[in-house]
Structure formats: structure tokens, C-alpha cells
Amino acid sequence: MKEHVYDTVYLRGKDFEEGNVLFETWDPNARYAWDTGVGMSRFLQELKAGRLVGAQCSGCCRVMVPPRMFCEHCFLPTDAFVPLQDTGTIVTFSLCYVTWDMIRIKEPQIPIVVAIDGASPGMGIMHLLGEIEPDAVKIGMRVQAVWKPAEERTASITDIAYFKPLEQGGSQ
Amino acid sequence: MSGNRVAVVGAGMTKFVRRAQETAKELAWEAASKALESCEMTLDDIDAVVIGTAPEAFDGVHMNSEYLSDGCGGWGKPVIRGYVGGGTGVFSPIQGWYHVASGLFDTVLVVAEEKMSSCQPHPQGAFLTIFDNFIERPLEPNLLWIFALEMNAYMNRYGLSKRDIATVSVKNKRNAADHPAALLGDPNITVEDVLNSEVLAWPVQRLDVSPVTDGAVALVMCAEHVARRVTDKPIWVEGVGWSLDSAYWTNRDLSYPTYVEEAARMAYDMAGITEPRKQIHIAEPYDPFDYKELHHLEGLLLFDKGEAPRAAADGVTQRDGDLPVCPSGGLLGVGNPIAAAGTMKVAEIFWQLRGEAGARQVPGKPKRGLAQAWGDLMQVGTVIILGA
């Protein structure tokens, strides 16, 4: 099938750095302001108050986090916001040593999916883990939210600074 | 099988390169003209055009398929673009199939193109907009996170080691050494090379990941009466399937791709396949990461859950194994120009079933093969089954 492959021209990074090839550049001028919606507005508002909430569907009885205006399974409106705990269990994690544009970082960021206590099983959110040595992180580890001081909260997911390991004997 | 019979009769592609001098439109033309030439057809013979291209943010061109359409042979013809992220490369031939199966068109040119290199400093900048804009983007995520999180969930569920998974990368990069369009073929790579490569987002290391790539692939698909006229080796579409999971990815069991199983079941039903492990002779599952090949083989029901790594280690998925997997070299070896990568897999099945895969030809005259792609926020499965 060699004859069905076009002999495309391969450029090297050097070709650009040394100006051996022509190129045009452009920076997009696009800013967005997203309305946070019915389900998410309440979630963010509660974060500012230092609380996590889910939404319950009376159809399937799931308690969902992040909360939502409608249940995507039953396709019905959710019925109520329900309080959740700020503790949970690590479902999975990574130790990330690069930034998004592939620059190396020394101390890894530790993204996690954390299943939140009080929500239905497996209902997790993504966040970061702190106050732990990278090689000590384990799936199944119990964690708790570390909240920013109330005056620094802005109704954002970052009102939780990160999650940290739950002390032994902590609430289940 | 639903609808009229549809055959693939031609395929062509560009080389897959890290950065092409050609514009996106020029890449599309290179692949499209090679595909037409391969079956001795011209654009006049084509009734409609299907374009596959993934995030337009890569190109910085709004309505990218309209921009590409001239290069895809779309001038003055019915043109459509489907877009399901990384799943697009297999979804576009599915669209080509239903254009013809419906009876609406006799001949369709399917062109999938991706030029990722334009996006600076790194195409991840465009990818990041896939994260939830309220509760994920403020955490300043890195796209690698979601794959690392999924890979770790898969490894943890079945007690897999990095060594179990690295064999996939070795196999595919070695297979790609025989592909004339490949970017990262390496006949000498070893498991140790993969295990010793730079850690990016553990458990993902440099050689677990496919590269940023520019490239395009095109197919010619047509109705039976046309196929019989243009070739004595038509390759038939026997089944297609696709399914989309919830965007609430943190609410799902990441250790198993349910949406791939749903897509596969749809395609198997259509093809009348009741025992895929016996009836599928070669597979090209989507392998942007080495663990994804294994994850997808399980979702495709070709191995039991958690069993694909052992089969890979035992050589079952080698080119001369019982079920050759990614004989092309896959995304890990040939390269990963998002939408074009999936169509490359369909082209590989086409060439393999025709016995035209050259040094990559799997032994035993395979009669039926499957290609699968995956994408969006780890949520879509697209499957096509071809038969000789």
C-alpha cells in the first residue's frame, strides 16, 4: 500500500526557530462569562458557605454530585438538594509532573477523583490532594476537604483548597 | 445487516508527521486524491463527501470542515461533518456507510484530517476546554490527568503493573516500523525503554502516549453495483455501532468502557456476530495510550475484563498471534492526528483484508476485522466491522 501514501513534507522545530519556513500567527480574542445554571449555582453558593451538596432524583433515588437540575437517567427534574459530608474516598489518582504545556514540575500535583460521603456510591468529583508524600497516596484512602478561610471564598470549586488524608479514626 | 450493502473500495493517506508544511486543506487533498487514485476514480464519480475533523480549536478556524471542504473534494456536493472527538475517525466511515446504505448516494468520499501542530504552545491548550467550565477548569487541570486517572483505576481494579501494559506500546511501535506513513515506528524498542521513559502523569510515562501529529486519511465507499464495477476485491461494511456515555465522568466506573461495549454490541448484532472472539480475525482498537488498547479490547468483548494484559503478554495480540491487534502500529506507532487516526485504523483493516498490507500483512488470510475509536470526555465508542 506504499503507493497510497502521499509524500507529505515533514518540518522540524528548528525550521521555525531559524526562520527557514513561513508562518502566520494569531491570538484569539475570546472571553467568556458562563451563567452557572440552576444546579451548579446552588453547589457553588454552598461551597462559599463551606458545605457540599448533592441533588436527589426521586426516580432512581440517586444522590448526585455535582448536583444537577435534571437526572440524565430518568430525564426528570431532580427533587431536592441534599447536604453531603466534606469527606470521601479516593477512587483514583495521578502524580502529575508536567504542566499542561509540558513543562516539568518538581513536586507533583496530585489530581484525584474523590467519591463524596453522603452521595450515591461512585459519585465523585475531581480535585487535588495535599498534605501527603506522593508515594503514600493509595486508592481507597479516606480524605477530607481543606477549606479556604471563609473570607477568601468566592463560590468556586477552589473554595476547597485541596483534600487531605483523613486522620485515623475519622468519621466514616 | 440494515440497509443496502456498502463497500470500501479505495483508501489513501498522508504520511503522519509531527509538523507538516502542508496546510490542513492541503493534507486533506493529499489523502483524498490518493484514495481516489487507489480505486481509479475521479471526483466526478463521487456523489457526496463526509468530513471528519476534531476540535476546531486546534486549527483556530471556525467551521473547520467548511474550510477543509475544498481539499476534501466537497465543492458543489452534499457535504457533512460528524464530530465525536477522538471517536470521529471511525464515526466518519459510519456516516459514509449510512449515506450509501440509505440509498441516497452511490459513492461517498470520506476524508478525515487533523493538523494539531498549529496550536501553540501545545495543542493541550485547546483540549483543556473539554473540562467542566465550573468545577474542573478552575483547578487548572492538565489533559493528561483524566487518562492517568482512568489508567490508574484500570490498573488498580485488576492489580495490573506498568510492565503488563508496556508490552502494548512495544508491540505497536514495532509494528509501525513496517508502516510507510508512520511517525514513531521503532523495531528495537523494549519494555524497559517504556518503563524507563520520563514520567508525565503517573502512571502515564512518555512512551505510554501517542504523539501530537499532523495527517489525513481518506476512504472511498460505494454501493454494491458500483463496487462490483470498480474492483474485484470489495471490502464490505458488515456492522457499525456507536454509543455515548455521560459527561459526568467522575461519576462513572473508569475501569471499564461501557460505551465501547454498547457500540460493539450494536455492530456485532448488525453483522450477525454471536462469538466475536472467533469471528473477528483482526482488531484495530483505539490506542492513544497503551492501556487504552487493553481497556478497549475488553469493552469490545474480545477478552474478559482484566484479561487483555495477560493475552498481550502471551503474544496473542502480536501480528502472528491468534488475534492480531493494531497490526498497523496504531496511534502509538503510526501517530495520532485525532480524527485521521481512527480512519487510519479502518484503512488498515481494508488493506489487511485485501492482502495488501505488505510487510504488515497478518498471516492466515483474515476475513473479518474491526476498527474502534474513542473520544470526547472519555465517553464515546465508535465501532465498524469490515469483511472480505
Q: Report domain extents, chain B.
A: 6-121+211-387
pLDDT at B336 over 80: yes
Q: Model confidence at A172, in pLDDT bands (50, 70, 90)? A: very low
Nearest-CA distance A78 → chain B (Å):
16
Which chain B residues touch A108 with a CB distance below 8 Å? 202
Helices B290-299 and B162-176: crossing angle, nearest 10°? 100
Is residue A161 a part of any domain in this protein? yes
B144 and A94 within 8 Å at the Cβ level: the answer is: yes
pLDDT at A121 over 60: yes
Between chain A and chain B, the number of residue pairs with CB atoms below 8 A apart is 177
Q: Model confidence at A101, in pLDDT bands (50, 70, 90)? A: confident
Which chain B residues touch A101 with a CB distance below 8 Å? 121-122, 124-125
Query: Nearest chain A Cα to B352, which residue?
Result: A1
In 3D, which of B317, B301, B286 has the Cα closest to residue B256? B301
Identify from A38, A40, A94 which residue to disrupt to test chain B contact, counting B C-beta atoms within 10 A and taking the largest count: A94
Identify from B139, B217, B244, B361 which residue to disrupt to test chain A contact, counting A C-beta atoms within 10 A and taking the largest count: B139
Nearest-CA distance A53 → chain B (Å):
13
Q: What rounded mean pLDDT belongs to chain A?
A: 94
Where does residue A127 rank: exposed (0-12), middle (13-18), buried (19+ CB within 10 A)? Answer: buried
Q: Model confidence at A17, in pLDDT bands (50, 70, 90)? A: confident
DSSP per position, A135-165: GG--TT-EEEEEEPPGGG--SSGGGEEEEEE
Q: Of the given ranges (A11-15, A127-131, B228-232, B379-383), which has the lowest mean pLDDT?
A: A11-15
User: Which residue has 469471528 as its cell numbers?
Assistant: B279
User: ipTM of this model?
Assistant: 0.94
A6 and B17 within 8 Å at the Cβ level: the answer is: no
Q: Model confidence at A28, in pLDDT bands (50, 70, 90)? A: confident
In 3D, which of B314, B342, B271, B33 has the Cα closest to residue B167? B314
pLDDT at A75 over 70: yes
Q: What is the pLDDT of residue B121?
A: 87
pLDDT at B239 over 90: yes
In this prediction, residues B292-297 reach a mean pLDDT of 98
In this prediction, residues B320-340 reach a mean pLDDT of 97
* Yes or no: domain B6-121+211-387 corresponds to CATH 3.40.50.720: no
Nearest to B134 among A6, A40, A139 (CB): A40
Q: What is the pLDDT of residue B1?
A: 57
Is residue A15 a part of any domain in this protein? no
Chain B contact for A161 (CB, 8 A cutoff): no
B181 and A5 within 8 Å at the Cβ level: the answer is: yes
Q: What is the pLDDT of residue B129?
A: 86
pLDDT at B172 over 50: yes
CA-based end-to-end distance of chain B: 15
Is residue A13 a part of any domain in this protein? no
Number of domains in chain A: 1
Whether residue B49 contacts residue B347, with contact meaning beta carbons closer than 8 Å, is answered with no
Is residue A31 a part of any domain in this protein? no
Percent of chain B's residues with pLDDT above 90: 92
Which residue range is the domain that position A98 belongs to?
A: 38-165
pLDDT at B215 over 60: yes
Q: Which three cell numbers stand for residue B20?
A: 507538516
Is residue A26 a part of any domain in this protein? no
- CB within 8 A of A133, min separation 6: which ones? none
Q: What is the pLDDT of residue B2?
A: 77
